[in-house]
């Protein structure tokens, strides 16, 4: 786990920061800066980065192979995306949920795993575990079978039936003797089984191994490969958690769907590479325009989704109208040096408490349709 964290937080961040400084020098026409940009870009294509961060490698290939005339423009477009990926890795806290009602076992687990730099949540019942899962981004679950309000195997089954939790690694802790309980838990989808009494060293080793194995799978499955922002599944999962927190705190939450206007026409006139650049540029502009509590994700081919906690639709509209102005001022160039510009339309809706988030997305989509029928390049709430 330490090696993965070191690469994600130090190695990737250091290379991206070095690329930023080299880009500044290149913009100032400092001698040797262009070569520095290309060397750092090539380093981001090396196996230690490429295997874990294919989207980073793809962007680095564009930078390394761009001609001198296009390199400055590409740096302006892609550096915010690279910085966003590195920042997300650095700020991500690995959370472990321990569902265990025995106070001694809780203390052993908390002491051992807290020393590993993990964020530990303790739940003594199944109902408490369900609440933690609704509110936090849980990376791994330690699950006891004998709990005051039910059998841990029932929770395991529900976890594997729910698309939002089906990939979370689960390590079962049990004092049940024999192979039957172990075989049943593995059949229900448990990743590992540790008998009681608990061995602290074994707990630490198994947790580290499962987190290492799942981190790469999760990372690859949650990012849009083109733009580097979260994909639809990741966005929906985060939106569900944001909705639960908003309901508990009685604060507003707004969602929006952004659609690039006439993307099919852009692709037809200027090529799919140009259309891809429009998508990447919009993702970068939206990402750097939002607060850290907000989120943007790739919703569909020509659409992005955004949610803004503690924001009304009116405030969300004000934010997105600023993004529209910034994006509309951008210029794009084809390989043949043809210059063009692009706009986007947006539909915004509130997420009402005790109402499914899917309904809010449908309402945002209806507002998007209205923005398009009213002339495009507009926000409607």
CATH assignment of the domain containing 302 = 3.30.70.270
pLDDT at 89: 56
How many other CB atoms are there within 10 angstroms of residue 41's CB atom? Answer: 26
- pLDDT value of residue 11: 67
Residue 319 has pLDDT above 70, yes or no: yes
CA 66 to chain centre: 28
Q: Is residue 227 part of a domain?
A: no
Q: Which of 222, 254, 288 is the last residue of a domain?
A: 222
Q: What is the largest CA-CA distance in the chain?
A: 72
Q: What is the mean pLDDT of the chain?
A: 86
Domain boundary among 91, 125, 147: 91
What is the pLDDT confidence band of residue 167, given thresholds at 50, 70 and 90? confident
**For the chain, how many structural domains are there in total?**
3
Asked whether residue 251 falls in the same domain as residue 170, the answer is no
Q: With 80 as the cut, is the pLDDT of residue 285 above it?
A: yes
pLDDT in tens, 363-375: 999 999 999 999 9
Query: Residue 137's domain is classified under what CATH number?
Result: 3.40.50.2300
Quick one: 356 and 337 in the same domain? yes
Residue numbers of the domain that contains 59: 2-91
Pairing relationship of beta strands 303-309 and 253-260 according to DSSP bridges: antiparallel
Q: Are residues 106 and 55 in the same domain?
A: no
Q: What percent of the chain has pLDDT over 90?
A: 49
106 CB contacts (<8 Å, ≥6 apart)?
98, 100, 122, 124
Residue 358 contacts residue 366 (beta carbons within 8 Å): no
Q: How do residues 77-124 score in pLDDT, each as one tens digit?
A: 788 777 766 665 554 557 899 999 999 999 999 888 877 668 899 999
Residue 16 and residue 83 share a domain: yes
Question: How crowded is residue 102: how many other Cβ atoms within 10 Å of its Cβ?
Answer: 16
pLDDT given at position 16: 83
Which of 56-60, 99-103, 294-298 is the least confident region? 56-60
> Is 337 among the domain residues?
yes
In a domain, 281, yes or no: yes
pLDDT of the residue at 280: 93
Does residue 360 belong to any structural domain of this protein? yes
Identify any residues that bridge with 349 across adjacent strands, giving them in sequence order. 255
Q: Which of 91, 108, 136 is the last residue of a domain?
A: 91
| Residues 134 and 79 occupy one common structural domain | no
């Amino acid at each position: 786990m330490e090696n993965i964290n070191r690469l994600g937080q130090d190695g990737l961040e250091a290379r991206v920061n070095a690329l930023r400084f080299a880009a500044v020098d290149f913009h100032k026409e400092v001698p040797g800066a262009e070569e520095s940009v290309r060397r750092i870009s090539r380093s981001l294509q090396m196996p230690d980065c490429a295997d874990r961060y294919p989207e980073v490698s793809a962007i680095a290939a564009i930078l390394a192979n761009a001609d001198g005339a296009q390199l400055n423009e590409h740096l302006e477009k892609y550096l915010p995306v690279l910085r966003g990926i590195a920042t997300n890795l650095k700020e991500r806290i690995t959370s472990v949920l321990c569902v265990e009602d025995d106070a001694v076992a809780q203390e052993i687990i908390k002491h051992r795993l807290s020393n590993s730099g993990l964020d530990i949540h303790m739940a003594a019942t199944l109902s408490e575990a369900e609440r933690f899962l609704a509110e936090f981004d849980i990376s791994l679950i330690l699950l006891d079978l004998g709990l005051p309000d039910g059998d841990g195997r029932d929770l395991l089954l529900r976890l594997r039936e729910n698309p939002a939790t089906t990939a979370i690694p689960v390590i079962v802790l049990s004092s049940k003797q024999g192979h039957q309980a172990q075989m049943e838990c593995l059949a229900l989808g448990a990743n590992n089984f540790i008998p009681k009494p608990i061995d602290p060293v074994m707990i630490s080793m198994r947790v580290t191994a499962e987190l290492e194995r799942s981190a790469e799978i999760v990372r690859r499955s949650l990012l849009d490969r083109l733009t580097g922002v979260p994909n639809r599944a990741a966005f929906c999962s985060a939106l569900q958690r944001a909705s639960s927190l908003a309901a508990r705190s009685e604060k507003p939450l707004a969602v929006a769907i952004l659609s690039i206007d006439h993307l099919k026409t852009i692709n037809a006139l200027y090529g799919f590479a140009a259309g891809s650049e429009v998508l990447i540029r919009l993702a970068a502009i939206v990402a750097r325009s939002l607060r850290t509590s907000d989120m943007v994700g790739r919703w569909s081919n020509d659409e992005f989704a955004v949610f803004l906690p503690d924001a009304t639709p009116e405030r969300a509209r004000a934010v997105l109208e600023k993004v529209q102005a910034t994006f509309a001022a951008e210029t794009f160039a084809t390989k043949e040096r043809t210059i063009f510009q692009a706009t986007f339309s947006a539909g915004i809706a509130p997420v009402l408490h005790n109402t499914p988030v899917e309904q809010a997305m449908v309402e945002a989509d209806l507002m998007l349709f209205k923005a398009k029928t009213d002339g495009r390049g507009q926000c409607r709430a």
